[in-house]
Structure 1
């Protein structure tokens, strides 16, 4: 298996980082290439999984960057296959990160949220898995020590606002997130605002679509995991993003900068 051989060529692989977009994960691998002094940010990092279009995988020194697409089913499939790959490649002491974008609740756009726990749309801190008609609820708490270390990195650099908060994970981008701009909407603006305010009151600070299964599978496998997402807008102020492309591009670099800071600190001690 090409992927397994590629992993084994680097004796130690302590960090895996996953994100939705293939292009974003390639950019992240190039960023880490320069940050860790392994090459230049302009180097063309090869896609280990070029034979499939389901996801992309890039390896740079101690870092494996993998795309997972959008939503719980997509990231679940990828994580199953990635965790099996890590097992067969005999990778140990691995730390896992998910980086991405999200909608904020009561935060100014550009704020980075480090998730302490992922909750479902009813604000329960678990991920429900239906296996052969039997539903099992898995804990979705993230590693508290890792979250604090990431927050410390942010305080040291002080480039952008970063908080630790609760993340709401949904299985839908529109109605599941109380949006008014989808094809269907059977609720009012007032209903939406009441729901988002309830979310805020329970501690939710951002909304995305993958954190629950990521947290649950990290917990089940014993991997320390962190979810680091930047907020592109404040959902209490509306459903549409109104910042420029340049501003949004800079926002999307923030999670990779924060995770990169942590990885560099640990890598320099190895």
Structure 2
């Protein structure tokens, strides 16, 4: 994976990363990315998205629009950032904005909604013949042992059992995939954070469960019990 620097942009696309290991895609007359309101037959995806280097996803449609407008200003692109167009305006499921080499997309709430978006996003990158793309998720969460306002650069995404994995049932079989992320990207983000004043930043792990309330409730109770047990011991040793 390429470093997260703007000077990594290039126009050579003779050879590109195969984001989807599915030979059947090449034989399809048309691939409809239904929830993104895009299609290989009605849209020239390489022309529209071929220069994408960074994909930023987040839950809220309003936040991702605001983020796209922010990036538009930071990159000093031409045009009015308030007038950026939602590429997915043909559907009310997700929003998508392209500003230079950056794609900003909402994914809604919950694993199923994220899974649908990622499925079609990865195929979009494949059909657009993108290369050296770095994907980020931007969002808020609770924190254990961290001061409010701390930015956490995720090193691993863990499930309900604190394992860096994601389980998914495919054709009746449980498929387990690793959720360990790129260490170089995390380190580079942490290094960039040193330029930001009054914004504490750490590298840590982020938990994702299948349910917002009950799924995280049991796990957080365990965390708080562990903290409650060890905190007096640590204080006595200081």
- TM bucket (normalised to shorter chain) is 0.7 to 0.9
Q: In the aligned structure 1, how far is the partner of 2:62 from the partner of 2:164?
A: 31
CA deviation map 1:104-158 (0-9, x unaligned): 1111111111110011111111101111221121111010000000000101223
State the alpha-carbon separation in 2 of the partners of residues 23 and 15 from structure 1. Answer: 19
Q: Judging by fraction of residues, say which structure has more strand.
A: 1
The answer to whether 1:196 aligns with 2:224 is: yes
Q: Aligned in 2, Cα 1:130/1:44: closer, same or farther, shift over 3 Å?
A: same
2:155 is matched with which residue?
116
- How many pairs align? 190
- The one of 137, 155, 168 equivalent to 1:98 is 137
Find out whether 1:49 has 2:88 as its counterpart: yes
Residues 1:37 and 1:114: Cα distance change in structure 2 (over 3 Å): same
Match of 2:118 among 61, 79, 82: 79
CA RMSD, 1 decimal: 2.4
From the CA coordinates, give the structure whose radius of gyration is larger. 2
> How far, CA to CA, are the matches of 1:115 and 1:66 in structure 2?
19
1:166 aligns with 2:166: no
Q: 8 Å contact 1:13–1:63 — kept in the other structure?
A: yes
Q: Deviations over 1:62-99 (max 9, x none)?
A: 00101000011101100010111111111111110000
Whose RCO is larger (CA < 8 A, sep 6+)?
1
| Secondary structure of 1:123's aligned partner | coil
Give the match for residue 70 of structure 2: 31
Q: Distance in 2 between matches of 1:21 and 1:111?
A: 20
Counterpart check, 1:62 vs 2:98: no
Identify the range of structure 1 (144-153 vs 31-40) with the bigger mean alpha-carbon deviation.
31-40
How far, CA to CA, are the matches of 2:220 and 2:82 in structure 1? 46
CA deviation vs aligned residue, 1:203-249 (integer Å, no higher than 9, x gap):
xxxxxxxxxxxxxxxxxxxxxxxxxxxxxxxxxxxxxxxxxxxxxxx
